[in-house]
């Protein structure tokens, strides 16, 4: 999104460089996204549990990358 910052693992950045296209998507397809989320919830998808898991995994990856950076400067 406009004026946002995101960190990504090197492999993700490399994949984006290979075949990604930068474009704003935060304000498009909202109705379709709502329908997908409603359907997933009806199927038993737990957004809170998955969000928590993704946050924990993301923090772990960020910590690992930060530790590597600190080792480079030591």
| Helix, strand, coil percentages for the chain (3-state, nearest 5) | 70, 0, 30
- What pLDDT score does 52 carry? 97
| Structural domain contains residue 23 | yes
| Structural domain contains residue 56 | yes
Confidence of residue 4 (pLDDT cuts 50, 70, 90): confident
| Structural domain contains residue 35 | yes
| Structural domain contains residue 2 | no
pLDDT tens digits, one per residue of 11-23: 999 999 999 998 8
| Structural domain contains residue 3 | no
Which residue range is the domain that position 23 belongs to? 10-73
| Structural domain contains residue 48 | yes
| Domain count along the chain | 1
- pLDDT greater than 80 at residue 1: no
| Structural domain contains residue 1 | no
pLDDT tens digits, one per residue of 15-71: 999 999 988 888 899 999 999 999 999 999 999 999 999 999 989 988 998 898 899
Give the C-alpha distances (Å, rounded to integers) separating 9 from 32, 37, 39, 44, 46.
28, 26, 30, 30, 25
Global model pTM greater than 0.85: no
């Amino acid at each position: 999104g406009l004026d946002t910052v995101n960190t990504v693992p090197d492999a993700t950045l490399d994949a984006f460089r290979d075949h990604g296209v930068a474009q704003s998507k935060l304000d498009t397809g909202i109705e379709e996204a709502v329908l997908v989320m409603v359907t997933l919830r009806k199927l038993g998808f737990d957004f809170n549990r998955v969000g928590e898991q993704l946050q924990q995994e993301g923090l772990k990856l960020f910590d690992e990358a930060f530790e590597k950076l600190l080792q480079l400067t030591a």
